[in-house]
Structure 1
């Protein structure tokens, strides 16, 4: 009996260790993203009238508790718990998009860990396993996951979500979360990630971030460069919903001009990036590429899960 208890205690401690790795990775990813001076977003010294840098710091800590394998067995429950935890401390929507993107990634990582598929595997192979496991997580999403996610979206009071004909967030849910995301994929990049197996995160954003981390000496520059690269190729769906396609296209065109001049890799690109930040903030109603920032956070989260603490240490030199 004592041996049985010891084994159960050991298993619990192993699970706690895995959970802490995931929750730490989520929190660190959020903190690094919001601390990097991405044009049009909040970062140290730059806030909005209704949102402050510290709101995002508090949110990162509050939401991270939901990133444990027990809650993530039901991704919808994990999403709702993370949002509920956030809104115990913060009134505004600071992290709904981040949570929606990171939960399936974390759930896939949990499943791989529980099946011992991460033992003695090369880091370059982990991403291939995660791609398949994320698809498995998405295909296993249920109506209950959709109900919980809809509760989270309504609780967050996310802006500019206009009423739609099918699966509106204000109505009763009769489809799975994946089916709901497929209905929204043309108007929302986060929904498109669910519908497309996280292709933008896994096949574009993460590889770009990985390359930029090798080029730059500081993590913040790598983050901003990746942000500009994503924005230059994919128009931001938050801007699209708030300001329309013309403004969203204009913002992406400006980001592309910066990348064409080298981005943060050149003095000219650095100056253009500062001017771009000023342009986005000078508008009567702020133009915030918030969805792009969410995608960057998901790529950071993925990088930390794969690289581990030693990888993070390399950013602190």
Structure 2
């Protein structure tokens, strides 16, 4: 199967990033409310400057991630998209090469591992902590997938590298399809994706910074809050109340937001002709 053109991949990536920002996503930065000392403009700029690296023709997944992080830090001075790039780079590479995501993950090489470790050190994400094996402050291992497997029990993005990104196909895409079937407009479809991740699995970013118990409590809280919520009613006030509550407690479900972008990007690539699964 022939792949997509890099320019198209970059355009679809940027569109996915911007669409995620337009949606009301409790706990995250979005067009309705800033938070966590960050504003929407930072993320829009990050999408703009990281798109060329993410979609660069012929380069490895690790290079796409490292150069995207470097461009972001140069433009906005903080990490806004490491998780997004870790999820979206394999999708971009698969779409360009005309292969599945599983195939590109099976062909990761030591250069990818070195570049990804460099990207993580550059971004210095909050709550990273220390690992007994494959710590990012040490030399990168030959196998990136081995390093990701080591972190899989504490980081949902790392776990995705071992599962072939099944969270997207099992959680994100079904939520998007269901929202579309209900006739929701694109912005509320994006909110539906984010809420599906929030209520389905504990958010890794919250777990790293606040602990696994608090991440699970958040998942249960959101699931309970959504029981009688109908997004067709555009419940802005209720979701903004939840948003304010989470931000007041310092709870930022950033991994859920990262997977929301990746879900939108996956769907856009598929609609453009990529066969990712």
- Normalising by structure 1, we get a TM-score of 0.81
Task: Within 5 Å, give how 1:82-93 maps onto structure 2.
Answer: 82-93=68-79
What pairs with 1:190-269 in structure 2 (closer than 5 Å)?
Answer: 190-266=157-233
Matched residue, 1:154: 121
Higher mean C-alpha deviation, range 92-101 or range 256-265: 256-265
Aligned partner of 2:258 among 275, 294, 306:
294
Tell me, yes or no, if structure 1 residue 96 matches structure 2 residue 65.
no
Secondary structure at the counterpart of residue 75 of structure 2: coil
Q: Tell me, which stretches of 5 or more residues in structure 1 are unaligned?
A: 1-13, 113-129, 310-317
> Quick one: distance in 2 between partners of 1:162 and 1:265?
41
Render the CA deviation track for 1:33-62: whole Å, top value 9, x for unaligned. 012110011112522353111000000000
Equivalent residues of 2:172, 2:260 under 8 A apart: yes
Partner of 1:9: none
Distance 1:253 1:270, change over 3 A: farther
Question: Is this contact kept in 2: 1:193–1:200, CA < 8 A?
Answer: yes
C-alpha distance 226-258 of structure 1, shift in aligned 2 (>3 A): farther
Deviation for aligned residue 1:183: 0.6
Query: Post-superposition shift, 1:270?
Result: 5.5
Report the count of equivalent residues.
Answer: 272
Match of 2:64 in 1: 78
Measured in 1, the distance between the counterparts of 2:239 and 2:267 equals 25
Question: What residue is the counterpart of 1:139 in the other structure?
Answer: 106
Aligned partner of residue 171 in structure 1, secondary structure: coil
Q: Which sits farther off after the overlay, 28-37 or 253-262?
A: 253-262
SS at match of 1:89: helix
Tell me if 1:174 matches 2:160. no
Q: Secondary structure at the match of 1:261?
A: coil
- CA shift, 1:273, in A, is 2.5
Between 1 and 2, higher relative CO (CA 8 Å, sep ≥ 6) is seen in 2
**1:206-241 alpha-carbon deviations (Å, 9 max, x no partner):** 221122133244211111122112211101000011
Give CA-to-partner distance per residue, 1:88-116, whole Å, 9 cap, x none: 2011110000000001111111111xxxx
Q: Aligned to 2:51, which of 59, 64, 88?
A: 64
Taking the aligned partners of 2:91 and 2:222, their CA distance within structure 1 comes to 28
Structure (1 or 2) with the larger CA radius of gyration: 1
Listed one character per residue, the Cα deviations across residues 150-198 of structure 1 (whole Å, up to 9, x for unaligned) are 1111111211101111000000112311111011000000001111110
SS in structure 2 of the partner of residue 172 of structure 1: coil
TM-score (norm 2): 0.92
| Equivalent position of 1:27 in the other structure | 14
- Native 8 Å contact 1:263 1:273 kept in 2: no
Deviation track 1:116-148 (CA, whole Å, cap 9, x = no partner) reads xxxxxxxxxxxxxx6xx2111111111211110
